[in-house]
Chains A and B, each alone.
Chain A
Amino acid sequence: MGKTLYEKVWEAHTVRELPDGRTQLFIDLHLIHEVTSPQAFAMLKERGLKVRFPDRTFATVDHIVPTEDQREPFGDPLAQTMLSALRENVREHGITFFDLGSGRQGIVHVVGPEQGLTQPGFTIACGDSHTSTHGAFGAIAFGIGTTQVRDVLATQTVAVNKLKVRRINVHGRLQPGVYAKDVILHIIRRLGVKGGLGYAYEYGGEVIERMDMESRMTIANMSIEGGARVGYMNPDETTFEYLKGRPFAPRGEDWARAVTTWRSLASDPDASYDDVVDIQGEEIPPTVTWGVHPGQSAPIDGAVPDPIEFPEPERAAIEDALRYMKLKPGQPIKGVKVDVAFIGSCTNARLSDLREVAKYLKGHKVAPGVRALVVPGSQQVAKAAEEEGIAEVFIEAGFEWRSAGCSMCLAMNPDRLEGDELAISSSNRNYKGRQGSPQGRTVLASPIMVAAAAVAGEIADAREVFGIGGQHA
């Protein structure tokens, strides 16, 4: 019987079984940022411990950075304290830090792959639930809490339980105007936000195999929204092509050996899975959320559900969501007025995301009354987009072009919703209050759908707004 990539990587990193039955797992790459690391460094200091392998630890700053005015000291002294604490910690422990002045700063899950730190077969941990993103490379990558950040800093290992593996096949092709974001929102809608509990998701099938790395990252990124702490794709030529020549990727003779190793890690054809789910790519519509968790979504030409058609306890959950979102049962999704359009976050702020939107946005204008912003995922993404003329397209259309950071995805910085503003957002979470206002409303969608809504002033079908796939309004 063959093995899955998950099993192979797990075995290769097992230091030992712990007396309580958990596994002590070695972590190849530890990524840290300013929000979840300061307490871990403090705990380390308290115990008189050092960072065990500083050359396996890399830092960036992303959650709290202002994206408009980055002059220091920041307007928010708390944000400045967090950045200063990180600077002090990385200096003391000799950790590579992609600071604001480095030209390589950005959202941790954009920076890792971009720098070639993320490699197939790695175990990767970070105090951030969207660490699953790195699974796109055939890595086993997962979010951890701050006490575990301490464990990894001190020992390069963590105590964890092995997961089951669910294979999710996306067969066939996607229709024009349907993107990776729609695929993962569709998967979450189908399997539910708790569907992935206890599982690692392995994504495969023709649709996934044909996807570029950045699209794969979008899908792996939101595994956690489906309840799966880990999500991954098997490494293939697309993966190797992406990594070749990146600053921290293997080079010279190492490269060929690395590729041979990486190929051998892919799940065997006769591997057995704890569960298999099949989805037909042609059936996936452009998808947007209407509720207060990422599983509450509908096709763009669909309608908000009517709670009356559902049994308890689902009915109560839908009623609560509609009350919060100020939507009416059965109301069409299209036509809901938007106040803010946000393109950014570790889900959808990579160069290909921005490039794809710019291709269609040219010649269009953001509707009056809509605040639209683009926040590139990293300084490198920003630089490339500026050089390619992508930034200019956004600016001419009426978007604000910002500096790299997490921005309005979670509002730990000046970018946030006010009152009950409704944002259409390329980010990953539509929880109550997520975007900074306790009454703020979030609709998750692909970047192209965000742009379409920005132009229309209301939730709209990008295929109609931009004439994608021969469709016109």
Chain B
Amino acid sequence: MPKIQRISGRGVPIPGHDIDTDRIIPARFLKTITFEGLGEGLFYDERFDAEGNPKPHPLNDPRFRGARIMVVGPGFGSGSSREHAPQAIKRAGFDAIIGVSFAEIFFGNATQIGLVCVRAESDQVARLMEAIERTPETLIEIDLAQMTVGYAGEGFPIQLPPAVREAFLRGKYDPLEVLLEAEAAIEAMDKARPKPGGQNVY
């Protein structure tokens, strides 16, 4: 796991409130036993009509091609717990999302796979959206050490729970290795805790 301190790249604005994970990746794309190729399904029903012809959508706009940072509104990632949503975003080439607020399960899923989701004040996010809409080649830099976003001579502070920031900076956002270290304590807790269908457990 690489350490994540600085992410820089171009952005794409995805405006809207409470964009749910069904919109990010429609359920039919979940009929798979791998995460491979999920990037193709990202916002599919908003990007394409029933015949597969592209509709006007920022992700279809050639001006934003190559963007690595998504800029979104409040309540992003609500609904279904499908990790397929952050997987699709990551596999479509994004490293970070700048938003106003994120649904909790989505945020946790994104964090574990190293997709950085940072929060900022809504007027700051709106200004950033306008700036990239105006000048798509604007370079955005997210700095987790300074907890700032900078672009075109402007900047604003960002928020991230301290534990998550720490996990990115130390390159420990995938917690499995750390969880495995507690084997003895886990073993003890399993013995102490009731089990469904177990006998003499209470």
Contact = CB atoms under 8 A, between A and B. Distances in A.
Contacts of B82: 35-36, 145
Contacts of A128: 80-81
Contact of B197 (A142, A159, A224, A248): A248
Centre residue among B18, B23, B35, B113 by max chain A CB count within 10 A:
B18
Contacts of A76: 31
A216 B113 CA distance: 34
B21 to A, nearest CB: 9
Interface stretch (B3-11, B133-141, B146-154, B182-190): B182-190
Interface string A241-269: 00000011011111001100100000000
B34 interface: yes
A328 interface: no
A433 B45 contact: yes
Given A36-B83, A411-B27, A161 B163 contact: yes
A258 B202 contact: yes
A52 B109 CA distance: 22
B91 to A, nearest CB: 13
A26 B175 contact: no
Contacts of A121: 194
Interface in B143-171: 161-164, 166-167, 170
Contacts, number: 222
B189 A26 contact: yes
A82 B33 CA distance: 6
Interface string B16-39: 111010110011101111110000
B33 A16 contact: no
Interface stretch (A148-156, A173-181, A203-211, A351-359): A148-156
A193 B18 contact: yes
B186 A148 contact: no
A348 to B, nearest CB: 18
B35 A39 contact: yes
Contacts of A85: 33
B187 to A, nearest CB: 9
B161 to A, nearest CB: 6
Contact of A156 (B104, B170, B174, B190): B190
A119 B20 CA distance: 31
A431 B79 contact: yes
B33 A39 contact: yes
Interface string B74-102: 11001111111010000000000000010
B18 A26 contact: no
Interface string B100-114: 010111001100110
B201 interface: yes
Provide the main secondary structure of the chain B interface.
loop
A429 interface: yes
Interface string B173-185: 0111011101001
Given A20-B163, A293-B78, A52 B186 contact: yes
Interface residues of B, number: 65
B44 to A, nearest CB: 9
B180 A154 contact: yes
A150 B179 CA distance: 11
B8 to A, nearest CB: 24
A323 interface: no
Contact of B81 (A143, A410, A429, A431): A143
Given A15-B185, A197-B101, A254 B195 contact: no
Interface stretch (A53-61, A393-401, A454-462): A53-61
A157 interface: yes
B201 A254 contact: yes
A150 B112 CA distance: 11
A119 B170 CA distance: 38
B53 interface: no
Contact of B194 (A115, A198, A258, A313): A258
A160 B108 contact: yes
Nearest to B29: A412
B2 interface: no
Contacts of A12: 193
B180 A21 contact: no
Interface in B38-75: 45, 50, 73-75
Nearest to B200: A254
Nearest to A150: B176
Contacts of B18: 193-194, 293, 317
A431 B186 contact: no
A43 B93 CA distance: 21
Given A16-B185, A26-B193, A148-B112, A412 B28 contact: yes
A227 interface: yes
Given A36-B82, A438-B50, A16 B32 contact: no
Contacts of B194: 28, 119, 121-122, 250, 258
Return the 7 tightest CB-CB contacts between A and B, nearest first. Answer: A145-B109, A145-B83, A21-B163, A38-B33, A143-B81, A129-B81, A438-B45
Interface of A: 12-13, 15-16, 18-22, 24, 26, 28-29, 35-36, 38-39, 42, 47, 52-53, 55-56, 58, 63-64, 76, 78-79, 81-82, 85, 115-117, 119, 121-122, 127-129, 131, 142-148, 150-151, 154-161, 193-194, 197-198, 224-225, 227, 229, 247-248, 250-254, 257-258, 261, 293, 313, 317, 320, 410-412, 429, 431-434, 436, 438
Given A19-B170, A429-B22, 4 more contacts: A147-B83, A148-B108, A227-B78, A412-B27
